[in-house]
Amino acid sequence: MDTALTRLTGVRHPIVQTGMGWVAGPRLVSAAANAGALGILASATMTPDQLKSAVREVKSRTNAPFGVNLRADAGDARERVRIIIDEGVKVASFALAPSRELIAELKDAGVVVIPSVGARRHAEKVAAWGADAVLVQGGEGGGHTGEVATTVLLPQVVDAVGIPVIAAGGFYDGRGLVAALAYGAAGIAMGTRFLLTSDSTVPDAVKAKYLAASVKEVTVTTAVDGLPHRMLRTDLVNSLERAGRTRAVAQAVRRAAGFRKISGLSWARMVRDGLAMKHGKDLTWSQVLLAANTPMLLKASMVEGRTDLGVMASGQVAGLIDDLPCCAELIARVMAEAHTALEELLAHRTLPTAG
């Protein structure tokens, strides 16, 4: 299926595996890439040295194009950009809008730049700065998310920018791909659907929680870090929502210390990153501090399998997923479903009659 996304990135299918922290490691990314999708390596939870090692591992597993996801507000973003360039990575994706300078540096080196956005104005801004494409996530998507549904946000962005748009939030099958294409998107991005594959390194006990969840059990809460965050509703989420601010901040300090130890970041760097997170948002300092919860709470589930101690970011589509195919099976299925849906639409189309 030839679209602006496949032509831009060189992948076979207009499908993106998103850069999920603690989930999108070399095994999942290379499996997605080998199956013809654009696999995105998550780097926010890695040190620069770990990122370089992970990129080289992906390259050892596949010859297909892949990307790396970066936090544009990280203090060492430029160092990570240099790693992407030096290692010959095809695509740089960003969780937040990168600066005009970072976009220019990457494009000058031949790297495709695809920021993720949750609002039309953000898409317009990065398009004006030279981004090659934009990934737009509606409120159905997992992790930090907005209030506007994909079916409303997607056509807004498609109409507003002149670059390829990738649709995210609520996609898991071929019917969704066809719907996104009908809206004018160049492809779809999926997170939860790729998390729930046999190629994902997420522990089986955690995957079982996702598979057992209903649509209504995938909720949005601000209790983790002060920002709207879509995840599975669990006893831990309920307790965080009941916890007082003093207790929550005390817990955040302990988790921040743990994240500092595994990430290699200094306290000064973490403070600078916190300031960057605060910029342009109406966050209190306690909310900025609470943001340290997110990496450690996600790691507890996604890496350690502690569903009692961790949170599980999730799109609403978790309530519709009931199996764990490998990436090759999943992508082949999605593309077969998409072609079937297109054939059925063409077979049943009718022309309006006069009178």
Question: Is residue 179 domain-shared with residue 262, that is, in the same domain?
Answer: no
Q: Is the pLDDT of residue 279 over 60?
A: no
> Does residue 43 contact residue 63 with C-beta atoms inside 8 Å?
no
Residue 311 forms part of a structural domain: no
pLDDT (0 to 100) of residue 291: 65
Run of H or E residues at 293: helix 293-302
Question: Is residue 163 domain-shared with residue 217, that is, in the same domain?
Answer: no
Distance separating the N- and C-terminal Cα atoms of the chain: 39
Question: Is residue 269 domain-shared with residue 188, that is, in the same domain?
Answer: no
Question: Is residue 267 domain-shared with residue 167, that is, in the same domain?
Answer: no
pLDDT interval class at 96 (50, 70, 90): confident
Residue 319 forms part of a structural domain: no
Question: Is residue 15 domain-shared with residue 160, that is, in the same domain?
Answer: yes
Nearest to 195 by CA among 13, 16, 20, 40: 20
Residue 308 forms part of a structural domain: no
Residue 315 forms part of a structural domain: no
- Condensed to tens digits (0 to 9), the pLDDT of residues 13-25 reads 999 999 999 999 9
Question: Is residue 162 domain-shared with residue 48, that is, in the same domain?
Answer: yes
pLDDT interval class at 97 (50, 70, 90): confident
Question: Is residue 164 domain-shared with residue 210, that is, in the same domain?
Answer: no
Q: What is the mean pLDDT of the segment spanning 111-137?
A: 97
> What are the angstrom distances between the C-alpha of 279 and each of 12, 94, 116?
38, 17, 18
* Distance from C-alpha of 33 to C-alpha of 15, rounded to nearest angstrom: 10
Q: Is the pLDDT of residue 151 over 70?
A: yes
Residue 317 forms part of a structural domain: no
Say what percent of the chain tops pLDDT 90.
74
Looking at 92-106, 150-164, 223-237, which range is the least confident one?
223-237
Q: Is the pLDDT of residue 315 over 80?
A: yes
Question: Is residue 34 domain-shared with residue 115, that is, in the same domain?
Answer: yes
Residue 353 forms part of a structural domain: no
Looking at 55-69, 183-197, 243-257, which range is the least confident one?
243-257
Question: Is residue 121 domain-shared with residue 18, that is, in the same domain?
Answer: yes
Residue 92 forms part of a structural domain: yes
Instruction: Report the chain's mean pLDDT, rounded to a whole number.
Output: 90
Q: Which residue has the tokens 């946000």?
A: 153
User: Within a 10 A sphere around the Cβ of 274, how many other Cβ atoms?
Assistant: 19
Residue 11 forms part of a structural domain: yes
Q: What range defines the domain where residue 129 resides?
A: 4-201+325-347
Q: How many domains does the chain have?
A: 2
Q: What is the mean pLDDT of the segment spanning 70-80?
A: 90
Q: Which of 176-190, 222-236, 264-278 has the highest mean pLDDT?
A: 176-190
Question: Is residue 195 domain-shared with residue 232, that is, in the same domain?
Answer: no
**pTM above 0.85?**
yes
Of 338 and 274, the one with more pLDDT: 338
Question: Is residue 127 domain-shared with residue 219, that is, in the same domain?
Answer: no
- Condensed to tens digits (0 to 9), the pLDDT of residues 36-48 reads 999 999 999 899 9
Of 166 and 223, the one with more pLDDT: 166
- Going across the sheet that includes 143-144, the strands are 143-144, 229-232, 218-221
Q: Which of 149-163, 257-271, 304-318 has the highest mean pLDDT?
A: 149-163
Angle at which helix 77-86 crosses helix 100-108, to 10 degrees, equals 10
- Condensed to tens digits (0 to 9), the pLDDT of residues 223-268 reads 887 789 999 999 988 887 887 666 666 666 666 666 666 556 676 6
CATH of the domain at 54: 3.20.20.70
Pure H helices in 62-173: 77-86, 100-108, 120-128, 150-160
Question: Is residue 96 domain-shared with residue 196, that is, in the same domain?
Answer: yes
